[in-house]
Structure 1
Amino acid sequence: MDQADIPALLSRLASDEDAARKMAVFKLQSSINDPAFADVFISSGGLIILRRLIMGTGGNTLAYSLQSLTRLLEVDMGWDIFEGPTAGDLVERVVELIVTNPLVNILRGAMSILVALVSHSQSTPRGQNRIPGTFGFRALKPAVAVYPQFFDLVIQQLQSADHALCANALMLINALIRDAVSADPAAANGKASTAGEEWPKFIKRLQDLGLIKAVYNLMQSSALQDLAHPLLEFQSLTKLLLRKWREVHVDLERPEHRRALKGLHLASAPSRDHANGVEKSEDGQSVGRKGSKKHNPEKWRRLGFETESPAAEFQEAGFLGMMDLTDFVRKNEDGFQKLLLEQSSRPMAQRCPVARASLAVTLILYDQFECDKTEMEDLRGYQLSDGKQQDKLYRPLLLQWSRLHTAALASFFRLWKATGAEQSDFDKAAELVRILVDQVIGHAGRMKDVVEVEEDLAEYDCGRLRDLQMDLLELSFEDNWGQHLYQVRDDLRQESLSFVKEQRIRCLLRGAWFSKPAPRKESQGNSHPNNRRNTNGTLWRYVKLSHNRRYLHYADFALRTAQEPGLDSLNEKIDLSKVSSVVSNVSVANEDARSESSKSQGAVNTNSKSTTKITIFSFTSPEEAAKPGGDGKEQPVLTLYPLNHSVASEWLDGLLMLLDQKPITAESNKLVSLVGDYGLKIRLLNVRMEAAYSGPPAGAGVVPSREGLDDDYWYEV
């Protein structure tokens, strides 16, 4: 629409005919987001007419008017409409529409206006003489006082089938939470608020109205694309709130903190352990006399604190740690009392410190959800990731913080008992819980329900958890010492290869029996590998390496003798210097799976034809051997049929290593890795902790002084 048409447009907007007003405001909403048009519109008095339409019309005319004001505010213009003496009436009218109007298009526009109104308090003021309370959460307070059901109805809209309305409602809640937190300057510094900490009360009010459950359901729904930004913003605000709670220091001069600690003490049922003044020493023996009313010297240590000054122990977890601990005790008071009684029956060193465990779990969850990560990092990750990766950015389990803390703390107690930990092992137990939380919560998908997570935390196998810990330790050691480990592993691999080579060659020196099909049955046996033979149809071949490792001696026998033949009875031999290659059909990939069965069959079913074959080749002539690249013509000089795969692995790799080639079977390579790993562990066992971390000994590297020496010296040979 041309700017020259604005006077006529304003005339139609001010018309008494509803049809004319409706058509005019319908055209206005499509043009007012042009800053040049909006500037002329405002300077021509358009805000007054637009305000009148919002205050006095209904139906589509009202919906178009709300949409027009929303688009005007989106281009950061028209804020003057909220700065006059009648601004309060306009805000109250918009709040009234949200509370009383059922039309979706009106609700969407009204909420968009309130989002802009509340969020504008966090932007840079355009004027220096702005009246306090014009924007932000405080601008809504007078209207909310008139309509106290406002927050309840906004949260109800989170269940709306209209995704746009749902997104607007969530954006309004986000804006209110952000403004409530940022409006309290003491909250930003982690200190007590002189205003009575209105933001925590406001957050609790929203939570009591079912906000957490509603957003949790949205995060697990299929409406992510339409609600992506408000959901990620709410997730970031949740982290912000957790961060603010952690920054609040526990101070016994504050009444609410004193009440929380006192509630912990009373919930522990102190009269059970110390009835009538009977105290217990560290070894569990009762001391003192009955009827005395002495102060319990273990008032806080029996709850799991390290000292009798518990406030100082909340320094790292802050008031967030106290909230988690008190919430756990409040919801599990009977279990808490039973746990303390059970721990009190054990020696002091074996007791699980409940309070310390709770604080440790709080910090573990805090790190797991990356609560120190800023909102911009979350949004940047959303913009740079594809669909599958975007799904991983949503962490609905973050909204179930209290339940996760309780479940993880119960797992802490379970692992403590299962591992037989003592108080000196507390950090190790906490590290196990950290790994457990990462495995269960960190790998949980967006759709995984919190009940399943609780079950997984309660049932995760301790042995599997320990294996994961060892794998992580090895990876950590690789990161810190990888450069040195690679060199050590290379050296150890060469040593392992030498060891395995010697072992395989000794198998050849020891000799072995091989089956040999009779010539008249050979062709039939090749086509029917599973046919059984009688003793008369099978020959035996015995092969043995000479002591000087230069010749392979062999001979064929009709029967397999109990006593192994000597070299003098083996009338055939092969000069290994003339061997060109060794070829076999031994399965490298599946050898491990097949060798287990072949080992058991080798001794029993010795008369069956072996399907494994090792063929030794040599060049047909010296001229062929002289051809470059080993491309000369070859001929087979000896074929062996091992009785099982273990013998096949030993002889195939032994012959290859005699020819200075690498082993190829899985069994030999597994042995090389096994020997190398044991060698590495033995070397690491010889490294002392103080040698690795304490630095060189005193005086190391210091050049001795020559003071007091002369040139009268000699060498004694």
Structure 2
Amino acid sequence: MSASGHTSSAGRSPLSPSTTVNGNGTRSGALVPTNNVTTAEGVTVRTRIDPTLTVDDVVRQLCVNLKIKESPTHFALRDELDELVTNDNLRKKIKNKSGLKLVNAPAREARETAAKLSNKTEKNLKLLLFSLQKYIREEAFAREFLDHDGLNELVDVISTSTGNTLAYALTAMQNLMELEYGWASLTDDFILTIVHILASPQSLINVCRPATAILKKLVEADPSSLPGPQPASSSRIAAIAPPGSVYRYGFQAVFTQMRKERGSLETVVNRLGSAEMAMAQYSMMLINSLLAHASDDSWEEFIAELERLNVRKAVVRLMSLHNIEDLMTSCMDFKANIVRVTYRKKMTVVDPEEDVTHAEFLDHIWTATKLDEEMDANGQSLKWRKLGFDSEDIAQEFNEVGVLGLECLKKFIEGDPEFPKIISEQLSRPEERRCPIGKGSNEVVALLSEHWDIYAPGYSTATTFQPLFLDFHRVHSLATHFFIRMWSESGATSGDFPRIVALVRSQVKLALRKESSREWHEVEADFLESDYRDVRDRQMEQLELEDDLLSKIPVRNLRAKLYKESFEFVKQQRIQCLLQGAWFVNATPQPTNRDGVPRRPLRPWRFMRLDTSQKYLHYVDSAVKFPVRNGLEDLPERIDVSLISEIAGGTCASPPNMLREQNDFPPSSAPIPSPLSFSLLSAHEGSLADLIAPDSSRWADWTDGLNMLRRDGGHVSSKETFGFVQALTEIGLKIKLLDLSGEMVEIPSGLVAGAPPTNNDFFFSELL
């Protein structure tokens, strides 16, 4: 019987007042749940829907029984929250007795929306855009909207709107850009409009958030980010986007427009101090994307501008304003990006003849010494040897530390107004007793690089935030002053250089211990107030436990190479775990719902697996565990990996009264967060999944694997992964050294290149 009291036509009716369908599809006398269905005219009918029907069948028979004359293809069902009812969620909506609405089908709604947007006098534009920002995520709606010139109409609205209307339009564009098609025609003028909106001090927070997200998406839409497995190497690959691809923008497209809008980058950095955490996080994510995708042509300019704006200090200050757990992923991503920046500077050769900036830095350093240039007995300049280098070949002197060493020396001299007196005092001593300040500065850079694992771009295994690393230059200045003081207090001579370096290495380990929780004044005191004899005694104790061989430059370089290989090996192992898949518990997120009652998942178990394209996480929710076949046939649902902005740990609890299998999870009377829980968070959708791993190894596999998989990620969050990388590195190093020490081969502290051939009359012999 229909809701209006009439019997439906032939076939199974969705409007059956006294029947239900059990799990095998047969009818029983028990009553099925009743749903309220509301029509566009506001008529509400109580309806019992057969859950074995498809949505198309339900809509068709509703139209028949409600005597709607239009074609059923023009209609669809939505729930109270405007979520589209599909074949996948229909049964859940029926079981939960969700209120349903008979509304326009997505394609029809899209056509009408595009038409209304073209009417600039539309009175209900704000309401229209409010609905658009939700519907645009549905593929059927999006395709029809794009086919009817909806993108250009939306761009026009963004260009001419303000206030909440603009906020809704920007959010609609942000959601549209989650698709991998349809927005390849966005122009430079549009990007400049978004930059202008972002930089405007009058822009509201709800306007700035989607504007920031749009720029981030454009930065990441470069050809090298085309979907699919990432290359094994962390270096950027040359790629060309196919015709019509949205992956045709990238860093240069956005940064070029940011140059035109004065103060735009400064505004983004300043918003890291926003009291609104979401705004600070959006700004942090945009900065990370710019850092991760910076092009070679503009890299130096962009990094110099960020350094001028003191972005590192802004990030450290951000940690003091908000709960670090809320921003952990973004800040760890920033730290990993600064590792890349630091490594690149370290590997950039100092070449004052070719690079004007390098020449200016060197001139600035020499001018700050207030020394006069002299000549030696052979008529050669004594300029850089006066500063404590071994030769006048400045490129060779900075060979191990590159531009990073040059910058550190410049800032060290700039930060000490007494430096001219220090250098004059050293020059007044006998030559063999002079402290080699320039050489010592470079050695401190090498020691700090070793301490913070600056071995290769994109490889960082630190599991905690390291604020002192972000203050690299300041720590370098402290350690270099310590080097000079140890040299003087020990009465060192030129042959004691390795001994003083060993003292500095020991002090660096002491001062930078537990740096995530130490105050700056404590670090400062360790460097400035430590007595030489105490440092020497502690260093001697350490030498009994360590092998001096490990401090030699060739061995340090070997460790750097093995570290990179170990990280890549562990990364691939973690991703393989994701490809194999695993069972998790569907958890209760914190905080709970409005009533304060833990929200119990409908199905307590979830199996999740990454597809081979590394683009989607496919999953299935189940009441019990079952054998999952290879492939994706058993996994009907999926999560787009590109939507995951953060993997947060310790965020959720086991659902209450959950039936646990033996040896799975210990019972818990209170819904407290589990240390094995993690949430996949989206920048604007909240949590995409709340899960609990069966053990710490599975937790490390998935949290670190997903972090490594993210294109703007690269850090790890578990001590287990950190330990694996370190252990593999040390084991590999010891094996390599056994090969040498077994042959009693002497490893030099450094290699000196011989004189170049006087002519071209030579050849390289092939070793047999």
TM tier, smaller: 0.5 to 0.7
Instruction: Report the secondary structure of 1:460's partner residue.
Output: coil
8 Å contact kept, 2:409–2:441: yes
User: 2:475 & 2:303 partners in 1: Cα distance?
Assistant: 20
Structure 2 match to 1:308: 392
Structure 2 match to 1:243: 343
8 Å contact kept, 2:336–2:460: no
User: 1:126 & 1:369 partners in 2: Cα distance?
Assistant: 36
Q: Match of 1:329, as an amino acid? A: I
Q: Give the CA deviation at 1:409.
A: 0.2
User: 1:212 & 1:91 partners in 2: Cα distance?
Assistant: 26
User: 1:41 & 1:110 partners in 2: Cα distance?
Assistant: 21
User: 1:455 & 1:226 partners in 2: Cα distance?
Assistant: 31
Q: Give the CA deviation at 1:412.
A: 0.6
1:208 aligns with 2:308: yes
8 Å contact kept, 2:184–2:246: no
User: 2:396 & 2:317 partners in 1: Cα distance?
Assistant: 38
1:395 aligns with 2:466: yes
1:152 aligns with 2:260: no
Identity, % of aligned positions: 30
The 1:34/1:133 distance shift into structure 2, 3 A limit, reads closer
The 1:339/1:106 distance shift into structure 2, 3 A limit, reads same
Structure 2 match to 1:409: 480
1:104 aligns with 2:205: yes
Out of 488, 491, 502, the residue aligned to residue 431 of structure 1 is: 502
Q: Match of 1:147, as an amino acid? A: E
Out of 150, 163, 176, the residue aligned to residue 59 of structure 1 is: 163
8 Å contact kept, 2:111–2:144: no
Q: Give the CA deviation at 1:433.
A: 0.6
Q: Give the CA deviation at 1:15.
A: 4.9
User: 1:34 & 1:376 partners in 2: Cα distance?
Assistant: 37
The 1:479/1:398 distance shift into structure 2, 3 A limit, reads closer
Q: Give the CA deviation at 1:126.
A: 8.1
Structure 2 match to 1:422: 493
8 Å contact kept, 2:408–2:476: yes
The 1:56/1:310 distance shift into structure 2, 3 A limit, reads closer
Q: Give the CA deviation at 1:419.
A: 2.3
Q: Give the CA deviation at 1:173.
A: 2.1
Q: Give the CA deviation at 1:6.
A: 2.6
1:168 aligns with 2:282: yes
The 1:427/1:79 distance shift into structure 2, 3 A limit, reads farther
**How big is each residue's C-alpha offset from its partner over 1:177-213, in whole Å with a ceiling of 9 and x where there is no partner?**
3333xx21xxxxxxxxxx6xx4222222232234232
Structure 1 unaligned blocks of 5 or more: 185-194, 280-287, 289-293, 382-389, 481-691, 697-717
1:466 aligns with 2:536: yes
Q: Match of 1:72, as an amino acid? A: L
Say what the alpha-carbon RMSD is for the aligned residues.
3.2
Structure 2 match to 1:284: none
Instruction: Report the secondary structure of 1:30's partner residue.
Output: helix
Q: Match of 1:430, as an amino acid? A: V
Q: Give the CA deviation at 1:60.
A: 2.2
1:74 aligns with 2:178: yes
Instruction: Report the secondary structure of 1:300's partner residue.
Output: helix
Structure 1 match to 2:38: none
Structure number with bigger Rg:
1
User: 2:140 & 2:449 partners in 1: Cα distance?
Assistant: 48
User: 2:272 & 2:509 partners in 1: Cα distance?
Assistant: 31
Q: Give the CA deviation at 1:39.
A: 3.0
The 1:296/1:263 distance shift into structure 2, 3 A limit, reads farther
The 1:477/1:143 distance shift into structure 2, 3 A limit, reads closer
Q: Give the CA deviation at 1:295.
A: 4.4
1:345 aligns with 2:428: yes
User: 1:455 & 1:307 partners in 2: Cα distance?
Assistant: 34
1:234 aligns with 2:334: yes
User: 1:143 & 1:346 partners in 2: Cα distance?
Assistant: 56
Instruction: Report the secondary structure of 1:79's partner residue.
Output: coil
1:299 aligns with 2:400: no
1:258 aligns with 2:359: yes
User: 2:534 & 2:185 partners in 1: Cα distance?
Assistant: 64
Instruction: Report the secondary structure of 1:270's partner residue.
Output: coil
1:362 aligns with 2:445: yes
User: 1:55 & 1:164 partners in 2: Cα distance?
Assistant: 24
1:123 aligns with 2:206: no
Q: Match of 1:170, as an amino acid? A: M
Q: Match of 1:364, as an amino acid? A: L
Structure 2 match to 1:113: 214
User: 2:419 & 2:494 partners in 1: Cα distance?
Assistant: 19
Instruction: Report the secondary structure of 2:440's partner residue.
Output: helix
Q: Give the CA deviation at 1:318.
A: 1.2
Q: Give the CA deviation at 1:694.
A: 7.9
The 1:694/1:137 distance shift into structure 2, 3 A limit, reads closer
Q: Give the CA deviation at 1:236.
A: 1.5
8 Å contact kept, 1:94–1:110: yes
Alignment TM-score, normalising by the size of structure 1: 0.56
Q: Match of 2:282, as an amino acid? A: N
The 1:256/1:377 distance shift into structure 2, 3 A limit, reads closer
Instruction: Report the secondary structure of 2:359's partner residue.
Output: helix
**How big is each residue's C-alpha offset from its partner over 1:99-147, in whole Å with a ceiling of 9 and x where there is no partner?**
2333110110111101111121241278435799962333235643553
Between 1 and 2, higher relative CO (CA 8 Å, sep ≥ 6) is seen in: 2
Q: Match of 1:362, as an amino acid? A: V
Structure 2 unaligned blocks of 5 or more: 1-83, 85-104, 227-238, 551-740, 746-768
8 Å contact kept, 1:12–1:20: no
* 1:676-687 superposed matches below 5 A: none
Q: Match of 2:439, as an amino acid? A: R
**How big is each residue's C-alpha offset from its partner over 1:468-511, in whole Å with a ceiling of 9 and x where there is no partner?**
3233323336999xxxxxxxxxxxxxxxxxxxxxxxxxxxxxxx
User: 2:419 & 2:246 partners in 1: Cα distance?
Assistant: 48
Instruction: Report the secondary structure of 1:25's partner residue.
Output: helix
The 1:50/1:307 distance shift into structure 2, 3 A limit, reads same
User: 1:6 & 1:297 partners in 2: Cα distance?
Assistant: 76
The 1:478/1:407 distance shift into structure 2, 3 A limit, reads closer
Out of 153, 157, 160, the residue aligned to residue 49 of structure 1 is: 153
User: 2:427 & 2:460 partners in 1: Cα distance?
Assistant: 47
Q: Give the CA deviation at 1:17.
A: 5.9
8 Å contact kept, 1:220–1:396: no
Instruction: Report the secondary structure of 1:65's partner residue.
Output: helix
The 1:76/1:425 distance shift into structure 2, 3 A limit, reads same
Structure 2 match to 1:506: none
* Equivalent pairs, count: 436
User: 2:204 & 2:500 partners in 1: Cα distance?
Assistant: 56
If each structure's helix is expressed as a fraction of its own residues, which one has the higher value?
1
8 Å contact kept, 1:219–1:394: no
User: 1:295 & 1:330 partners in 2: Cα distance?
Assistant: 30
User: 1:308 & 1:375 partners in 2: Cα distance?
Assistant: 34
Instruction: Report the secondary structure of 1:442's partner residue.
Output: coil
Q: Give the CA deviation at 1:214.
A: 1.2
User: 2:533 & 2:514 partners in 1: Cα distance?
Assistant: 19
